[in-house]
Amino acid sequence: MSTTFQLDTSTSRANPTPQPMKRLTVPKIRAHKADGETKQPLVMLTAYTARQAQLLDAHCDILLVGDSLAQVIYGLPSTIPVTLDMMANHAAAVVRGSYHAVVVVDMPFGSYEASKEQAFESASRLLKESGAAAVKLEGGEQMAETVAFLNQRGIPVMGHVGLTPQAVNVLGGYMARGRDDAEARKIVGDAKALDEAGAFAIVLEGVLEPIAIEATKAVSCPTIGIGASAQCDGQVLVTEDMLGMFERVPRFVKKYENIAEVIDRTVAQYAEEVRARSFPSADQTYQPKKG
C-alpha cells in the first residue's frame, strides 16, 4: 500500500497517511472461498492499538481485535475478565489506524451467551462505538441461533470453534482439541452449524490437522487456522507472539523475529547513555539563538 507521511504538529510525530483506497468488506472476505476453494489464503493478525494497526494494515486482509489483549496488553491470566469497554476502546483505535483491512472485534465472555438478544445488544454497541465491520464469538452449534439472529439484523459474525479460550475453565486448559472421535465429530459439526447460520468465516483453533482439513472442506465459508492446518482458507496469529515479544508461546506459533531482544538491547543502550550523561546531546536539546 502506498503511503505518505503527515506531520502531527501537536506531537511532532509523522503518521503514515495511506493514499485513498477502498477498505475490504465482509462480502469480499467471504467471496475468497468459491466452490469450496480459496486460491489465495486470507491473512489475519491481531491488533490492539492505532499504531500497530498502521503497521499491519497493508499486509493483512483482516485485523482481529482479539480478547487476547487480556494477556498481551493487561497482563491478565485469561480472557475471562475482559469487558465490553476494553474491546470497544481498542477496536476504535484499530479502526482509526487502518484503511484497508476488515476489522473484526471479539465479543468478551459474558456479553453474548445468555441470549441472542443480549448478543445483539453487545454486538451493536461494539460496532457503533468502534466502527468495526464485524464481531467474533466463540462456540459452535449452541451459538448457531445467535449467529443467525445477528446476521439477519445486519451484524456480520465470525465464528470460533475447537480450542475456545473463553471456555478454558470447562476445557481444563489450553490443550489441542479433537483427540477422540466424538470431539472430532463435534468440531466438524460445530463448524457446519455456524456456516449454515450465516457466519462469514470461522476460526479453527488448536485442533488436530486432519480435523481442520475436514472442517474446511465441509463448510462454504472461509476457515482461519491457528494451530490447525495450512490447508485452512487463511491463518491468524497473535502479533506479539509471531514478533517474539514473549519468551514462551504456544507450539503453533512461528517466531518471525525477536523484537523483545531488540527492545532489551535498545533500552540498555539508552540507560547507559543517560547514566553517562551522553544523552541528550546537542542534537536533542534546544539552544539559545545566536546574536
Reported as a pLDDT band with limits 50, 70 and 90, residue 263 is very high
pLDDT tens-digit readout, 124-169: 999 999 999 999 999 999 999 999 999 999 999 999 999 887 766 6
Do the beta carbons of residue 87 and residue 47 sit within 8 Å? no
Choice among 205, 214, 240, 257 that is catalytic: 205
C-alpha span between 121 and 220 (Å, rounded) = 28
Residues belonging to the binding site for Mg(2+) are 67, 106, 138
Number of H helices, E strands in the chain: 11, 12
Task: Please report which residue ranges of 136-258 form alpha helices under DSSP H.
Answer: 144-152, 168-171, 181-197, 209-218, 239-242
Grid coordinates of 7:
506531520
Which pLDDT score, from 0 to 100, does residue 16 have? 58
Do the beta carbons of residue 18 and residue 63 sit within 8 Å? no
Give me the mean pLDDT over the 170-197 stretch: 83
- Higher pLDDT among residues 70 and 249, named by residue: 70
Which pLDDT score, from 0 to 100, does residue 110 have? 96
Q: What is the rounded average pLDDT for all residues in the chain? A: 92
Residue 18 scores a pLDDT above 60: no
CB count in 10 Å sphere of residue 104: 28
pLDDT tens-digit readout, 46-70: 999 999 999 999 999 999 999 999 9
Which pLDDT score, from 0 to 100, does residue 22 have? 83
Superfamily of domain 21-242 in the CATH hierarchy:
Phosphoenolpyruvate-binding domains (3.20.20.60)
Residues belonging to the binding site for 3-methyl-2-oxobutanoate are 67-68, 106, 136
Domain ranges of the chain: 21-242
pTM assigned to the model: 0.91
Give me the mean pLDDT over the 173-182 stretch: 72
pLDDT tens-digit readout, 76-120: 999 999 999 999 999 999 999 999 999 999 999 999 999 999 999
Which pLDDT score, from 0 to 100, does residue 224 have? 98
CA-to-CA separations, 124 to 105, 119, 248, in angstroms, rounded: 11, 8, 36
Task: Find all residues with CB under 8 Å of 168, minimum gap 6, and list them.
Answer: 78, 79, 80, 174
Maximum Cα–Cα distance across the chain? 85
Residues belonging to the binding site are 67-68, 106, 136, 138
Reply yes or no on whether 205 is catalytic.
yes
